Amino acid sequence: SDCNFYITILSVMNFCFFHSILYYSWYFIYFQKVIKEKKDMKYVLASASPRRQELLTQAGFTFDVIPSAVDEKITKDIPSDVVMELAYQKALDVYESRIKDNPAYQTEDCIVIGADTIVSYRGEILGKPADNEEAFDMLSMLADRTHQVYTGVTFAGCIRGQQILHTFYEKTDVTFYPVTKEDLHAYVDSGDSLDKAGAYGIQGAFAIHVKGIEGDYNNVVGLPIARLYHELDSILPKEKIHYAF
């Protein structure tokens, strides 16, 4: 009868609804656990950069800071390859010399994070300026133009007995407004440009000259924190998921 038919339909709908709620509740709990494990793991930042430290802290990571003292060697020409090469050297240096055989890090999983950022314009790599004159020249070249910021990141460590060595890079396009010589001199004379690739910090006073960006803002600051988080997710050993329904 029509009544039995509708009762059957309602029963099926209730069954599906119940199992959907059960599935998504379990799914939420599982991934909350994964997120917590990811953030609670032991991390070491192989960089003294306060900007990178701030980004990791804002994202909820707990970490130690052990800057790399490696003698950096560049053998590549392409900007993306250069930052990955340098990030790799930094992370591996700290892991091999300070972490791998250190008893303080033997009781838990640990990942060393190495990072390096450069600015590139028309294929020319711009590192940190040696002095104010070089900083002024760099910024004069970048004014009213679009350049690229590359950050390479390497994870080196051990998780659940599995060796981890993983490198990636992120690129962001940055466009400046035209900048007067007076404004350039004022910024350079402030001293803010000397410890920054490309001679500027996007999060500081020079932000008033940034016309726009295409890509990850945090990558320009020094660490693509969202990409870092998802790259971590891609390399962490996964628990096999068993479905009960």
Residue numbers annotated as active site: 116
Q: Please say whether the beta carbons of 150 and 170 come within 8 A.
A: yes
In the numeric block, which tokens belong to residue 138? 């760099």
Nearest 5°: the CA angle 8, 10, 11 is: 65
How far apart (Å, rounded) are the C-alpha atoms in residues 38 and 109? Answer: 10
Residue at 136: amino acid letter: F
How far apart (Å, rounded) are the C-alpha atoms in residues 75 and 85? Answer: 8
Q: Would you give the distance in Å from CA 229 to the centre of its chain?
A: 7
How far apart (Å, rounded) are the C-alpha atoms in residues 203 and 76? Answer: 29
Q: Please say whether the beta carbons of 202 and 172 come within 8 A.
A: no
CA 224, 228, 229, 231: dihedral to nearest 10 degrees?
140
The SS3 assignment for 95 reads: helix
User: For the purposes of burial, counting CB atoms within 10 Å of the CB of 214, is it exposed (0-12), middle (13-18) or buried (19 or more)?
Assistant: exposed
In the numeric block, which tokens belong to residue 122? 């028309």
